[in-house]
Amino acid sequence: MAKVSCVQNCGPSLCSVCGPNVNTEDLLFSAREANLVYMDKVYSYNQATACPILASVTTDETWTTELTLESIRSNCGCNDGCGCSEGCGCGNSGCGSGCNCGSQRANIICCNCSTANGCTLTSDATFTITRSYVLVQSLNLNTGVLAAGNVTVDGTAVDSLTQTGNRYTATTENLVGTTSRERCKDLGLPSKHFFLISAPGPWQLVATIVLEGTVNTDGRTCCFQAKFTTPTTPLAVTGASTLAIPKLALPCTVNGVSPTINFSFSGMVHVLNPSITATCTGGTCTLELTASLAVQPQVNAEVVRRTLFCLDACEGMLPCDGTEAAYELDNDDDCTWPPAPACKCGTAPTPANNADICERQPVCNFDDDCDCGCNNCGSGSRTSGSGTSTLPSGFQWTGCNGCSW
């Protein structure tokens, strides 16, 4: 069964919806040179999966349901063994679309194959599920459920724990001094520790359950794909599973800067023993899913520390805020594919690659509004051509308000 319907040569162009790996908006870069920079160095990047939590689920009207039916097409020739009944109009091109094949299932499948939308759902529909999976959008905890005491390194609780959405940050100022191994510190290497998140829960799940297979409905067998999306309020999964990372690398403190542990939650969900029931009234059908979910929480953890680096790199030459250079910065979207290289060192003008920078230019050339061929410019008047022009009272025609250098 097709998962995606693609229309060729239609819709927005690729470069209007997809960007390059680094979008610089035509930013110029200086020549490559040594730079001192602070960056968050990642010392450890780990993932752990917890034991599954079983939860039963029965959908209702608050769930969003989407059903796709597709006819099973077969060879409808008269010699294909389907045995079209009298009146089906068998011919070299197969059974006619308006034929009446009676109640013989084999004949129905054969003779109706030329009907594109011949699948009609009824309350007597029988679903046979052959494939199931879950698209997990989020699996996380409510705010304030996880405390610093539930997050430990070698049995010692982290100093503090803050939560922003599904992202947690644990500080380690005192922890590092207690748990770091002297041998590792002397060599300037991080120490490996046992990182534990004790019994987090209950969980909040936002996901789409996808079931595929065949359905026998109205005397026909069709392919189906059903999607059940959780309500606006996430599905509560009661239970807790401990998450552990045996070897989390934690560096020492340098110049008062200690590492931090950042982590977030995700998960895998499996569907157990699903069944679908259809209820149709007046041409409107609703689907009900009954199943068990095996929810496996996952944690993605990283250890970072603000670290000083000397990099041989080129700097992006961004104009100062409030300047004409910033105002005139070209932000036009260049729609070309494949895109040009994202960035390249040495593209900014310098005296070495642009001789115009060193040329003497008028200080007061405001878009050539002033005729700087004039001379003897003074306060209140200027000489232009053969005469003298008197300026309105209050004008000062000197310096950068006139033609003087």
From CA 303, how far away is CA 306, in angstroms rounded?
A: 11
The H helix count followed by the E strand count for the chain is 5, 18
Reading phi first (left if > 0) and then psi (alpha if -120 to 50, else beta), residue 165 is in left
Which residues are CB-neighbours of 264 under 8 A, at least 6 positions away?
140, 166, 167, 168, 299, 300
From CA 198, how far away is CA 48, in angstroms rounded?
A: 13
From CA 82, how far away is CA 100, in angstroms rounded?
A: 14
pLDDT computed for residue 402 by the predictor: 43
C-alpha to C-alpha distances, 19 to 9, 11, 26, 142, 315, nearest whole angstrom: 19, 17, 13, 35, 22
From CA 157, how far away is CA 174, in angstroms rounded?
A: 10
Question: If you write DSSP's letter for every residue of 277-315 in order, what string do you get?
Answer: EEEEETTEEEEEEEEEEEEEEEEEEEEEEEEEEEEEE--
Which residues are CB-neighbours of 78 under 8 A, at least 6 positions away?
84, 90, 91, 92, 94
From CA 26, how far away is CA 319, in angstroms rounded?
A: 13
Quick one: which of 232, 362, 255 has its CA closest to 306? 255
In one-letter notation, the amino acid at residue 292 is S
Strand order in the sheet with 381-384: 375-378, 381-384, 387-390
pTM equals 0.69
| Burial class, 228, CB count within 10 angstroms (exposed 0-12 / middle 13-18 / buried 19+) | buried
Q: Tell me if residue 80 falls in helix, strand or coil.
A: coil
pLDDT computed for residue 113 by the predictor: 41
Nearest 5°: the CA angle 196, 201, 204 is 125
Strands 156-157, 33-49: pairing kind: unpaired
Tens-digit pLDDT profile for residues 45-104: 999 999 999 999 999 999 999 999 988 754 444 444 444 444 444 443 444 444 444 333
pLDDT mean by block of 10 residues, the chain; 405 residues: 42 68 75 93 95 95 93 52 44 43 38 54 93 96 92 95 95 92 90 94 95 90 94 92 94 93 96 95 91 96 96 87 74 59 73 61 52 44 44 45 42
Quick one: which of 105, 117, 121 has its CA closest to 66? 121
From CA 286, how far away is CA 350, in angstroms rounded?
A: 69
Quick one: which of 223, 193, 191, 228 has its CA closest to 209? 228
The encoded tokens of residue 322 equal: 């409030």
- The alpha carbon torsion through 338, 342, 343, 344 (nearest 10 deg) reads -20
From CA 195, how far away is CA 249, in angstroms rounded?
A: 10
% residues pLDDT > 90 (the chain): 49
The encoded tokens of residue 387 equal: 């005469």
Q: Where are the alpha helices (H) located in 123-193, listed in sequence order?
A: 173-179, 182-186
Quick one: which of 90, 196, 93, 100 has its CA closest to 152? 196
| Burial class, 133, CB count within 10 angstroms (exposed 0-12 / middle 13-18 / buried 19+) | middle
From CA 65, how far away is CA 227, in angstroms rounded?
A: 6
Q: How many CB atoms lie within 10 A of CB 145?
A: 15
